[in-house]
Amino acid sequence: MATQLEPPPESSSAPPLPAKELEFEITHTTLYRYGHPAAEAYGEARLTPPSLPAQTVVKHALMLDPETQTSQYVDHYGNVVDFFSLPYRHKKLIVRNEMIVQTRPPARPAESLELTIGEARQIFSSALTDIFDYLQPTEIVEIGSDAVQWARRFLPLKMSLAEALPRLNEAIHDSFDYKKGETDNSTTLSAIWKQRKGVCQDFAHVALSVLRTAGLPARYVCGYIETDPPAPGTKALTGAVATHAWIEVLVPGMTWVALDPTNRQWVNERYVAVSFGRDSRDATPLRGTFKGSGGQRMDVKVVMKRRAAKK
């Protein structure tokens, strides 16, 4: 369980670990089964991992069954989107996403992180037109009194980003229980604040609501996290076997830094980021709509294997 994790292995002031490259092979399969054959189905997949300083995509393939051509574009949040339409009768739809990705520990912009929250907000005020989206509440990321209180408590204006961000991350981890099945996509954020439990998606939304209240631009990240095989002596990380979610905060210099409130740590080389947005709805890996009478069932399976440790 996430709650039993050791304290974070590094603090912001510690020297960065020696660069270590990892390579992962990931297979993410989604199966939709319809009660009655669907007459028409349309979908968008945000399943193409971007190449970033901390990750290099070696290979990627998206496959649909029934076999269907997809048509790509890049959305407002920078995600590569595959659009597909199946306007004919089908009983099930399988979306298979395969990739090989190399990762390395993300470089953290130490200078920017030394700035206080007040200084950061000052710097951002001249770029509001571009970062507006990441400062606003959304239908999911509502801003309530809890978020306002937490922002005051954990993100005071005079504190440096390097100190405040992990503090908030830890506070969320310590105050919320990781519990599967207690929440779903229809659970409101205010309900999550009240019951103080949820899954990675909820942890991320809580973090976003506090950061945005404090005037710090922040976004939602959907991707994969390695848990298996656990290194000797450490516990499995929460989030495996399905997609995982965490957040990124924009710091001066227009750099995103990533934190995982579910696992109480800065994001490291065991993460592969796939899609981004203001909230889980923007970044959702697969969204679809179908015409049919029988409802649908969705099963998701993620397999993430480490290929060979590299120096």
Residues forming the site for other proteins (CB under 8 A)? 37, 39-40, 42-44, 66-69, 71, 73, 75-76, 83, 85-91, 128-129, 132-133, 136, 278, 282, 287-289
Judge contact between 210 and 268, C-beta under 8 A. no
| Closest CB 38 distance from other proteins, rounded Å | 10
Residue with tokens 């306002």: 148
Residue placing its CB nearer to other proteins in the complex, 154 or 220: 220
Residue placing its CB nearer to other proteins in the complex, 212 or 244: 212
| Closest CB 139 distance from other proteins, rounded Å | 10
Residue placing its CB nearer to other proteins in the complex, 30 or 238: 30
Q: Say if residue 16 is preceded by a cis peptide, omega within 30 of 0.
A: no
| Closest CB 298 distance from other proteins, rounded Å | 15
| Closest CB 273 distance from other proteins, rounded Å | 20
Judge contact between 245 and 302, C-beta under 8 A. no
Judge contact between 86 and 41, C-beta under 8 A. yes
Count of C-beta atoms within a 10 Å radius of residue 96: 16
Q: What does the buried/exposed string (b/e) look like for 8-34 if buried means 16 or more CB atoms within 10 Å of the residue's CB?
A: beeebeeeeeeeeebbbebebebebeb
Residue placing its CB nearer to other proteins in the complex, 37 or 156: 37
| Closest CB 75 distance from other proteins, rounded Å | 8
Residue placing its CB nearer to other proteins in the complex, 24 or 290: 290
d(CA 306, CA 283): 25
